[in-house]
Amino acid sequence: MGSPHADEPSYKKESKEKLKARLTPLQYKVTQEEGTEMPFHNEYWRNKEAGIYVDIVSGEPLFSSLDKFDSKTGWPSFTRPLAAENIVEHKDQKFFMERTEVRSKHGDSHLGHVFEDGPKPTGLRYCINSASIKFVPAKDLEKEGYGKFKSLFGKANPSH
């Protein structure tokens, strides 16, 4: 993922056929059909390793472990996006309630929802499906094309 020029990222969505071939059925259902994975039975809800989370479809950076917290909901939760320019919000009125859906800008992936019941400093809870994201450990940021985020984690790469 990433581009050959780290300072000139190019995040794109592949064709439906390529996505179906590359993604797992759950990743496809969540990102392309606005599905939801099971709480407490997903890849990243308990991940405490330092690094960033990127869109599984396009590779665009979305969230950081530095903003991750345990919301007790069983899904990865963040207080803010790492790169707000890569997040798009839409009103979602499915299931007889009004929520704010969170999507990736370039991949147009359904990520989850944002709620106003998170901790300080933002008061927000970005509740994200693990199936819509890929974790890139801090130690691999340069290698994976996300070197510009390496300085966030310092030399010790603290876990959260």
Q: Where in the sequence numbering do the catalytic residues fall?
A: 127
CA angle 8, 105, 68 (to 5 degrees): 95
Task: Give every strand in the sheet of 77-78, ordered side by side.
Answer: 68-69, 77-78, 125-128, 110-115, 99-104, 87-92
Q: What are phi and psi of 104, to 5 degrees?
A: -85, 145
Q: Which two tokens stand for residue 27?
A: 């990743």
